[in-house]
Amino acid sequence: MRVLGIETSCDETGIAVYDSNAGLLSHTLYSQVKLHADYGGVVPELASRDHVRKIIPLIRKALADADLAMSDLDGIAYTKGPGLIGAVLVGACVGRSLAFSLGIPAIGVHHMEGHLLAPMLEETPAEYPFVALLVSGGHTMLVDVKGIGEYEVLGESVDDAAGEAFDKTAKLMGLDYPGGPRLAKLAAKGEPAKYKFPRPMTDRPSLDFSFSGLKTFAANTIAAEPDDEKTRANIARAFEEAVVDTLMIKCKRALKQTGHKRLVIAGGVSANTRLRAGLTELMSSLKGEVFYPRPEFCTDNGAMIAYAGTQRLLSGQTEGLEVKGQPRWPLDTLEAIKR
């Protein structure tokens, strides 16, 4: 089955073609970073309009790269939510309309399920069951994964997600948008142990996350210290280490609670090198395995939507003719795929 994947949940237009037998055939991505940079964050209306401009040319490119015609497709998968509703509806309308015109099935994909399954695109995918750490700008959650659609959310962010805290702290430090990667780059120049930041909510058994207080602690530290490059690098280092340590502590608890020996990490923040190194070391000490998507599939992309959609289409699931987006959509409400 050849499936076209469409991702438009926020500020990146991702298109890909996945073949259930041959694997990923093509993927292309357009980022709106430059468009939103002047505003210091994503402007929803501008994001939606840019998706409208870019989506059809990108679909044509993905098909050309896969050496396929539109008529060669067997299904279409698109992000149905969660995300910016205007942006989501652009991909949903285009995807559902194309499927209708071609007489092929369509499926709306949960954005975070796409991220969760992104490591399955690698040569050595994780086997079920496993614990998944989904960590991005909008979400931070730990999930017990027994199969596709068999999800139990063990803990999630009660306020700012980790990626959101990275971006907001970067903005407090005067770093350009997108701030998270820039803060991580600055942190690489900092010295360890110059500042001691709290590890939020690690003093209680809960697997939930809270990073708004850590952001406030960083803001107070920034205001109280000299405004020079070295000091900012040291503060960035302390902030990043606090986030990484917090995520590691919670992952270790989740693994102990479930008894699983496999950990999957996905989402934009999963590209962070300090986090990857820390979790690799953790899983080595626990005699377990850790799985990541390649860096280009950590952020939003069409490949993960194409893969997730293919699995659901193969199981017989399809979308009706109604075009609907879900800006909020609990992950644990998804239908399980029978194995």
DSSP assigned state of 24:
E
The neighbouring-strand residues paired with 133 are 142, 265
Is 98 annotated as ligand-binding? no
The CA distance from 278 to 275, in Å, is 5
Query: Prior bond to 82 cis, omega within 30?
Result: yes
Between the alpha carbon of residue 220 and those of residues 54, 134, 214, 215, 235, the distances in Å are 41, 28, 10, 9, 11
Question: What DSSP assignment string belongs to 218-246?
Answer: HHHHHHHS--SHHHHHHHHHHHHHHHHHH
Residues with Cβ < 8 Å from 304, sequence gap 6 or more?
5, 7, 114, 115, 117, 118, 121, 293, 297
Is 135 annotated as ligand-binding? yes
Is 136 annotated as ligand-binding? yes
Tell me the three state secondary structure of residue 50.
helix
Is 203 annotated as ligand-binding? no
What is the distance, to the nearest Å, from the Cα of residue 213 to the centroid of all Cα atoms in its chain? 23
Is 220 annotated as ligand-binding? no
Contact 153, 142 (CB under 8 A): yes
Is 81 annotated as ligand-binding? no
Is 138 annotated as ligand-binding? yes
Residue with tokens 């340590």: 245
The CA distance from 106 to 117, in Å, is 19
The CA distance from 290 to 284, in Å, is 9
Is beta strand 130-135 parallel, antiparallel or unpaired with respect to 140-147?
antiparallel
Is 272 annotated as ligand-binding? yes
Is 278 annotated as ligand-binding? no
The CA distance from 106 to 78, in Å, is 8
Binding residues: 111, 115, 134-138, 167, 180, 272, 300
Please report, in range form, the residues annotated as the binding site for substrate: 134-138, 167, 180, 272
Binding residues for Fe cation: 111, 115, 300
